[in-house]
Amino acid sequence: MAYKKFSEQEITRAAETDLVDMLRRQGEELKAVGSEYEWKHGADRITIRGCQWYNHYEQKGGNAIKFVQEFFGKNFKEAMEYLLGSTAGELKQVKPVQQKPKGVFQPPEKSESMRRVYAYLLTKRGLDKDVVATFARNGLIYESADYHNAVFVGKDKDGKTRHISMRGTGTKSTYRGNAENSTPEYSFHWRGKSDRLYVFEAPIDMLSYISMHKEDWEQHSYAACCGIGDRVVHQMLTDNPNIKKVYLCLDNDDKGQKFDKLIADKLFEKGVASKILVPTKKDWNEDLLAQQAEQQAEETDESEAEEEESCQGLQL
């Protein structure tokens, strides 16, 4: 059976279908939040604006075609036919994956030393030793006893550990993840007394930015989303009424910049001022390492120049 081809105009028309209108015709309930709408799919919270949608928990989104494919189990051809009106009837929502009952949150045990973590963060990642030591002294960074992972701790305003994010420290390790049953609202962060909050994708990005901007850094607030949406941003605003300005410092890629814009729009609706700061390279750690490489090259050039002058003096 030949696969039906769709014209560019048909694809554009289907992709730009108003999702709010479509869902309401399906009898779905939506909640208006400013200029957007929220739709619940199991435990997932989906933000909808026109033909665009975004899943905050999985950090992915798209247009109307992808929406019908994602949430109603249709392939591309079926989604197109439905959106173009050539097939009628009610869409049957695909049931979300059954959520496991929430278990016990258990942070990994601490190693007796921080040797592996310090080596990884200071040598491989180039982080400032005083910055890392400050977080460690406050119980916000430690080394796990089992796999010697770098453990980034998120605490609530009462000082209780509520979230754990981990990063492998082995030479070839690419492991990163969050401890089961962590509370996303309290992912890795630092509370300051100024009116500024800086938001990042990952703990190492956050620490890299601080390493490059050390002056009075402890006075400001910082938060890493740790791959679980923007809930930590809104929790920080709730727990710290002194925060009036939010600086969004996510990665310099399509995903990061879309997430920047999404958070900025939601903050605007709350009356909170925000500004987007973009790293020169892909992320802040790449910027930090590039800055250090440049400084090292300049120091080498200066050393070689001094050595050459010294040799010329001896020849005279």
Specify whether the CB–CB gap between 204 and 128 falls below 8 A: no
Q: Does residue 98 sit within a domain?
A: no
* Whether residue 2 has pLDDT greater than 50: no
Same domain, 253 and 134: yes
Same domain, 252 and 202: yes
Q: Which span out of 98-102, 241-245, 258-262 was modeled with the highest average pLDDT?
A: 241-245
Share of the chain above pLDDT 90, in %: 59
Residues 53 and 129 in one domain: no
- Are residue 136 and residue 282 in the same domain, yes or no? yes
CATH number of the structural domain spanning residue 264: 3.40.1360.10
The answer to whether residues 162 and 23 belong to one domain is no
Residue 200 predicted with pLDDT over 90: yes
What pLDDT does 3 receive? 53
Q: Which residues contact 213 (CB under 8 A, 6 or more apart)?
A: none
Within a domain: 72: yes
Tell me what pLDDT residue 312 has.
Answer: 64
pLDDT of residue 235 exceeding 90: yes
pLDDT of 115 over the 50 cut: yes
Owning domain of residue 181: 115-290
Assigned domain for 312 exists: no
pLDDT at 1: 42
169, 118 contact by CB (below 8 A): no
CA 107 → CA 29, 110, 166, 273, 295, distances in Å? 38, 9, 10, 35, 39
Task: Decide: pTM greater than 0.75.
Answer: no
- Asked whether residue 245 is domain-assigned, the answer is yes
pLDDT tens for residues 39-63? 887 767 788 989 998 886 666 788 9
How large is the average pLDDT for residues 242-265?
Answer: 92
What is the C-alpha separation between 129 and 112, in angstroms, rounded? 19
